[in-house]
Amino acid sequence: MSSTTGAAVSSASPASTASNAHLPVHVAIIMDGNGRWAAARGLPRVAGHRAGAEAVSRCLRAAKAKGVEYLTLYAFSSENWRREPTEVADLTSLLKYYLRHKVAELHKEGVRIRFVGDLGRFGPDLVAELERAEALTAGNAQLTLLLALSYGGRGDIVHAARALAEAVQRGDIALSAIDETALSARLLTAGVPDPDVIVRTSGEHRLSNFLLWQSAYAELVFLDTLWPDFDEASFTRVLDIYARRERRFGARPA
C-alpha cells in the first residue's frame, strides 16, 4: 500500500481528467470532517452532517460521470455508536430522510444500493427501509453504491471467520480448503471487487477500521479537504493521483 508522497494533497490543486486506462473500478471513501466543518462556522454538528450529505450527492455525480463502477462510502462506523446519543439520533434521522427522499431518484439514475455492516443495531423499522432500498435498486448497473453503516473492518473479518467455522462444522467445506478466496467470499462485501483506491478527507492519515481485509493492495490518498467541501473537482483530483501510481501488488519493478 502506498500513500500520497509528502504533505496531504489538497483538492484545490489543478485537475486534469484521468484516462480510462487508469480509471479505478472501485473507489472507497472515509468521509471525515463534518464536525470540524460545522465548528469552524459556529454551527451545530448536525449542520456538518447535512452538508456532508450534499457532498455525497456531488461525489455520486462525479463517480457516475467518470465511469467508476463501485463507490463505497464509510457513512457510520461501528465505533460511532459511542458518540453522544443526540448525535447518533441526528445521523439516524438524516439516514431515514435520504432513504425516503433520495432512493427513488438514485433508482431512476441506474444506481444499485447495497448496505454493509451490523445493520440490526438500527432497529427493525430502519432495517426494513434499507432492505426496500436494496430490493428496489437490485437490477441497476450504472453504478453500485455501497454504504458502510455500523461497519467495522475487524468485525467484518470476525463475521467471515465465524461463517467459515460454521461451514466446516456442517461439513460444507474441509478445513484444508480454507484460503483467502474462501474467507473473501464470506465478507460483507462478497461479490464486490476490492477497492483500487481508498480516500480519507480532513487530513487524517489512518483507515480507522475500514475495509481492513479488502484494502490489502489499495492505493491510499489523504486529502486535507473537509468532507462537506468535497466536490467534483476533488473526485477528479483523486482519479489523477491514482492514475499516476504504479500498482505492482508486491512484484518487482519491470
Backbone φ/ψ region at 90: left (φ over 0), alpha (ψ -120 to 50), beta: alpha
Check if 90 is active-site: no
Q: Which of 20, 32, 196, 240 is catalytic?
A: 32
For each of the domains in the chain, give its residue range(s) and CATH number, in order of start: 23-151 (3.40.1180.10), 153-191 (no CATH)
Check if 194 is active-site: no
67 labeled part of a ligand binding site: no
206 labeled part of a ligand binding site: yes
Query: β-strand 26-30 against 70-77: which pairing, if any?
Result: parallel
Confidence of residue 247 (pLDDT cuts 50, 70, 90): confident
Q: Which of 20, 80, 179, 196 is catalytic?
A: 80
Evaluate if pTM is beyond 0.85. Answer: yes
219 labeled part of a ligand binding site: yes
Q: Are 218 and 245 in contact (CB under 8 A)?
A: no
- Rounded CA-CA distance 150/148 in Å is 7
User: How many H helices and E strands in the chain?
Assistant: 7, 6
Average pLDDT of the residues of the chain:
90
pLDDT in tens, 177-231: 999 999 999 999 999 999 999 999 999 999 999 999 999 999 999 999 999 999 9
Confidence of residue 121 (pLDDT cuts 50, 70, 90): very high
2 labeled part of a ligand binding site: no
Is the pLDDT score of 14 beyond 70? no
